[in-house]
A and B are shown apart, each in its own frame.
Chain A
Amino acid sequence: MAALSEWQERLEETALAPIRRTGRRFWALVAFLLAVIGWGAYAYSVQLRDGLVVTGMRDRISWGLYISTFVFFIGISHAGTLISAILRVSQARWRTPVTRMAEFVTVVALVCGASYVIIDLGRPDRLLNVVIYGRWQSPIIWDVLAITTYLTGSITYLFVPMIPDLALFRDRLAGRTSRWRGWLYTVLAIGWNGNATQRRSLTSAIGVLMILIIPIAVSVHTVVSWIFAMTLRVPWNSALFGAFFVAGAIFSGIGILIIVMAVLRRAYHLEEYVTEKHFVYLGYLMATFAAIMIYANISELLTHGYKLSEGVEFHFRQLFLAEFAPLFWFYLLGGLVTPIVIALLPATRNVRGMVVAAVLVTLAMWIERYVIVVTGLRVPLMPYEPASYAPTWVEWSLLAAGLALFALLITVFTKVFPIIAVWEVAEDHEATVAPPGTVRPAALETPKLAGEVGP
């Protein structure tokens, strides 16, 4: 058993390392991110002073980069739900070392996404009117309800499985860290001591939460699609939109998770726990969702294009040939086809290949959201000249600030909370190490996929 406890010790040390040591590069990164956020704050102050006229949004194209980025962030928030809840329900054990990161991404992405709705408001000072005068007939109110529910749910779902790890931090860091940290872990660990009753409660709480969070997550992105699909705009007129948005959300969520995993793995030396296998498995999952997205696109474009009813010809021309053609073709070929090719070819089926695929997917999915929003509003419904839209420096600055805020919140989280679900990884490890005494290498027992490249 000595080997096992040594293994456990190493795991705990890895989890504690980010909190024990903070290098100069960390502070440099934080300073850089804060600078970008500060620039965004300046841009927003200009917008607050002069109004939405400083953006490219006008009366005919009244939603633009902000709403696209909102949809994008809400989309990537599905990383946590998918990895954590769906894989937990299906008892895929390989997920355990990356669940915590996925749940971080969910909460942080939701916070970033929700802030873009406020940035997009013409009168943010009247935000409370949404609560005071809210009407259920408006899809925007459905969104407000869905996103606040999802945020509450995912914070709970992040917190509950973290309790034993917070208790570990409380015990291991007692007296060896700043007072506020000690206080924070004591409060958040809510008296966890790992006895049988507590363990039973924890297991059943997680069981309930993982089932609950799935329908909430699915409904959130469906409702996000409905703020578009419930209007009379030609390209948005689709019953497929909800499912299409959910698939796209999970797709981009996997992409961003692979990127976050790669960054944290390198920064905090997690190679023993976050292995190539995790990247490859997630890459397979991402390729599957790329296939679903291709299917959805064909289904959507063909039903519109075959009938070519009013406005569709204009829409197809702007997508495939004219103004939006470079973006749309990049999305189709670079964002949907290439990730599948990368996952299929043995030569690129490795960490580097999957990270490249994930970057392509993330970029393509932002572009997809942008194209959906802007082209949808651009198709003329009246016999007027088509309107145009180009984001201004204010909008680009706020996009950069949002991405910086996302990175900063993840960075800060990793410095405060355990980035690896220590107790779950340990539990899985114990379950796979048999018979006692004969310790196999750290790799976790998982069903092998055909063609898998071993860790």
Chain B
Amino acid sequence: MTRMGFSIDLERCVGCQACVIACKTENGTPRNIHWMRVLEKEEGAFPDARRSFTPVRCNHCANPPCVAACPTGAFVQRADGVVVVNESVCVGTMACLTACPYYVPARYDGGDGYFGKKLTMYEEAKYSNFREGTAQKCHFCYPRLDEGRPPACVEACPADALNYGDLDDPESPINIELQRRRHFRPREELGTDPSTYYLVGKGGGPAVGVS
């Protein structure tokens, strides 16, 4: 079996938002919708102040509450563990938004593009993948996975902070990294069995208090 996992190295992340832009470019998510986000926080006081960055995205849980809550089966867990949304089936009950403890699914409302009412050619082409009044979220760039390519965010990261791979394969680079490094998963205690691992330094704990 394959189970797609994702690791985020909080020691390496520089908060450049390249992953956010790469995701936007790849998936053409409309205005106000972000499948990838980087939370920023300032900690401490001068001269011991530092900024910390926490990239967040869908955790593609092995036990996903969104899939359970969806009345129409618009949320589907693929064989490789990736949770995808079939927007053409969604009726918009917003049960997934209520079910997800990570605030990942979001409702698409239509509306203006980034440059006002008139959409650019790029926006016109990409927004047609989204259905007004339905829920959508990160799909792990599954079209790329199926071609054997990495997700757009992983590819774009200049600090090599993002990684992905098969958690069921003990030899996969992500598993080797997880054995070597201290790590935690977001809100593991809820029993969702998330597939995202945050890698932290020796003394490091959760950066922005995720978990």
Contacts and interface: CB of A to CB of B under 8 A. Distances in A.
- Are chains A and B native binding partners rather than an unrelated pairing? yes
Interface of A: 50-53, 57-60, 62-63, 120-124, 126-127, 129-130, 132-135, 137-141, 144, 227, 230-233, 377, 381-384
Contacts of A231: 65, 69, 98-99
23 contacts: A53-B111, A59-B106, A60-B103, A63-B98, A120-B94, A121-B133, A122-B90, A122-B92, A122-B93, A122-B135, A123-B92, A123-B131, A126-B91, A126-B92, A129-B91, A140-B69, A231-B98, A232-B65, A381-B101, A382-B103, A383-B208, A384-B39, A384-B103
A52 B65 contact: no
B91 A127 contact: yes
Contact of B210 (A50, A57, A383): A383
A381 B102 contact: yes
Contacts of A62: 94, 97-98, 107
A420 to B, nearest CB: 41
Nearest to B105: A59
Nearest to B187: A381
A244 to B, nearest CB: 19
B103 A381 contact: yes
A384 B208 CA distance: 10
A382 B56 CA distance: 11
Nearest to A117: B93
B35 to A, nearest CB: 13
B69 A230 contact: yes
A124 B93 CA distance: 9
Contacts of A382: 56, 101-103, 187, 210
B71 A130 contact: yes
Given A51-B110, A123-B131, A123-B133, A140 B103 contact: no
Given A53-B109, A122-B133, A135 B91 contact: no
Contacts of A137: 68
Nearest to B186: A382
Contacts of A139: 69, 95
Contacts of B25: none
Nearest to A135: B73
Interface in B62-111: 65, 68-74, 89-95, 97-99, 101-103, 105-107, 109-111
Given A62-B94, A123-B92, A138-B95, A232 B71 contact: no
Contacts of A51: 109-110, 132-133
Interface string B170-198: 00000000000000000100101000000
B59 to A, nearest CB: 11
B209 interface: yes
Contacts of B29: none
Given A52-B109, A138-B95, A133 B72 contact: yes
B98 A135 contact: no
Given A52-B133, A123-B134, A383-B208, A141 B71 contact: yes
B34 to A, nearest CB: 10
Interface residues of B, number: 40
Contacts, number: 118
Contacts of B133: 51-52, 121-123
Nearest to A59: B106
B91 A138 contact: no
B73 A59 contact: no
Interface-central residue, B72, B190, B208, by most chain A CB under 10 Å: B72
B148 to A, nearest CB: 31
Contact of B91 (A58, A121, A381): A121
Nearest to B97: A62
B91 A59 contact: no
B102 A138 contact: no
Contacts of A129: 72, 89-91
A394 to B, nearest CB: 14
Contacts of B39: 383-384
B138 to A, nearest CB: 14
B72 A121 contact: no
A137 to B, nearest CB: 5
Contacts of B106: 59
Contacts of B134: 122-123
A377 B103 CA distance: 11
Given A59-B103, A122-B90, 17 more contacts: A50-B110, A51-B110, A51-B132, A57-B94, A59-B107, A60-B103, A63-B98, A133-B72, A133-B73, A138-B69, A139-B95, A140-B93, A232-B65, A377-B98, A381-B102, A382-B103, A384-B103
Given A51-B133, A133-B73, A232 B101 contact: yes
A230 to B, nearest CB: 7
B91 A232 contact: no
A15 to B, nearest CB: 43
B103 to A, nearest CB: 6
A230 B190 CA distance: 13
Contact of A122 (B102, B103, B107, B209): B107
A58 B107 CA distance: 8
A382 B54 CA distance: 12
